[in-house]
């Protein structure tokens, strides 16, 4: 297999970025259609870890999302403004904050579950099971760079 070394649209980074961009465009259209236009795809970095475990400390949330604490703080502020999360002082450490889902975000969870399941079905209709397993494995490895 020939490795493309020149900067062009066949570059792996470009393809990954464009695939992610398209994924997010489709997500956003579906979120809007479901009545959640305030939920941007980038908010998944906050919402998905909180769907797994609500009330995380800011540092734990940033770690699980693989984002810097500064970036996570900015995202949390945006989600607070949209009424999706709230930030409360941690009861055991007054310097730390716990981030919790609001009722609006809890109502959004089944929508997110359905939209993501629909997205998975779209992908599965276009790639084989073996390709999907390879893709998932490869993306996990790329995330470790």
pLDDT above 90 coverage of the chain, percent: 79
Rounded Cα gap, residues 114 and 3, in angstroms? 38
Residue 13 reports pLDDT greater than 90: no
Residue 3 reports pLDDT greater than 80: no
Rounded Cα gap, residues 100 and 111, in angstroms? 18
Q: Are 43 and 111 in contact (CB under 8 A)?
A: no
CB neighbours of residue 115 within 10 Å: 21
Is residue 2 very low, low, confident or very high in pLDDT (cuts 50, 70, 90)?
A: low
Give the mean model confidence (pLDDT) for residues 113-127.
93
Give the mean model confidence (pLDDT) for residues 141-145.
88
Nearest to 82 by CA among 29, 31, 30, 21: 31
| Higher pLDDT among residues 61 and 96, named by residue | 61
Residue 1 reports pLDDT greater than 70: no
Nearest to 97 by CA among 88, 105, 106: 88
Rounded mean pLDDT of the chain?
Answer: 92
> What global pTM score does this model have?
0.85
pLDDT above 70 coverage of the chain, percent: 97
Rounded Cα gap, residues 33 and 19, in angstroms? 21
Is residue 133 very low, low, confident or very high in pLDDT (cuts 50, 70, 90)?
A: very high
DSSP string, 55-79: SEEHHHHHHHHT--HHHHHHHHHHH
């Amino acid at each position: 297999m020939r490795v493309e070394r020149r900067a062009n649209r066949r570059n792996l980074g470009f393809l990954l970025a464009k695939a992610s961009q398209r994924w997010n465009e489709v997500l956003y259209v579906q979120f809007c259609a479901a009545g959640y236009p305030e939920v941007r795809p980038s908010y998944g970095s906050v919402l998905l870890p909180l769907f797994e475990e609500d009330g995380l400390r800011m540092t734990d949330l940033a770690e699980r999302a693989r984002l810097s604490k500064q970036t996570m703080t900015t995202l949390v502020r945006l989600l607070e403004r949209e009424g999706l999360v709230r930030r409360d002082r941690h009861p055991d450490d007054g310097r730390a904050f716990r981030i919790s889902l609001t009722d609006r975000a809890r109502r959004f969870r089944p929508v997110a579950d359905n939209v993501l399941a629909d997205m998975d079905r779209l992908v599965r209709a276009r790639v084989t099971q073996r390709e999907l397993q390879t893709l998932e494995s490869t993306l996990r490895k790329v995330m470790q760079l």
